[in-house]
Structure 1
């Protein structure tokens, strides 16, 4: 029985390390997405404040709203699956991977991948809108 214990202990340490690495990876992706969302919302806010043209404002408002919804989803993912507790600070310490929800790397990956895809779709449309404004010398 003693020969099994070191193997089990070694496996637990490896699993915990993998868990920590996975969570750090997803935290980094979420932070990058949040920064890009902040930058895009800032540009869109400038447009909304600067131009009264209904179609420009309408598109800017739509993209701004979509980015806000995406930010809310990222916040929920971070709060519910990545960090511990509702009041998780931005620079969280490594989660205690003994909690069962932290063993759900596949679940986190699936949710995060869906949000990354959604962000790519919104970002592509938003950048196309912004580049159209630049080609018209409006930015």
Structure 2
């Protein structure tokens, strides 16, 4: 019985460390995607401000809207699954992992992977649109 009791705290420490590592990993990915979204939205705003051509504005508005929706989903994922509590510090040194959050690693990975896939799809289309404008010397 003593040997089982001595293993349990060790296992809990490993689980906590793993949880914290996973949370930091996903937080970094979310931050990186948010930064790319910010940059793409900035370029799209420039297009919308420079050109009144209906087709160009329409495409730019569509991509901008899609990126806004994606940013909202990333914010929700970060708030609901990565952060502890309502207020999440921008760069926590040691994210807390409570017992109730240990089971979320798989859920976080599933949601983050789905959002990464959606982001890649939107980003690819947006970059193709922006590249087309550059090839026409419009940007």
Q: TM-score range by the shorter chain?
A: over 0.9
Tell me by how many angstroms 1:59 deviates.
0.2
Tell me by how many angstroms 1:102 deviates.
4.1
4+ long deviations beyond 2 Å: 92-96
Q: Which moved more, 1:125-134 or 1:80-89?
A: 80-89
The unaligned stretches of length 5 or more in structure 2 are none
Tell me by how many angstroms 1:91 deviates.
1.4
Tell me by how many angstroms 1:88 deviates.
1.2
Number of equivalenced pairs? 139
Partner residue, 1:85? 85
Partner residue, 1:9? 9
Supply the distance in 2 between the matched residues of 1:14 and 1:97 (Cα, whole angstroms): 12
Query: Is 2:22 the counterpart of 1:25?
Result: no
CA RMSD in angstroms, aligned pairs only: 1.1
Partner residue, 2:71? 71
Supply the distance in 2 between the matched residues of 1:130 and 1:54 (Cα, whole angstroms): 16
Supply the distance in 1 between the matched residues of 2:94 and 2:103 (Cα, whole angstroms): 13
1:19-48 C-alpha deviation (Å, 9 max, x unpaired): 000000000000000000000000000000
Supply the distance in 1 between the matched residues of 2:61 and 2:49 (Cα, whole angstroms): 11
Alignment of 1:1-139 (within 5 A): 1-139=1-139
| TM-score, normalised relative to structure 1 | 0.96
Q: Which moved more, 1:26-35 or 1:88-97?
A: 88-97
| TM-score, normalised relative to structure 2 | 0.96
CA contact (8 A) 1:95 1:102 kept: no
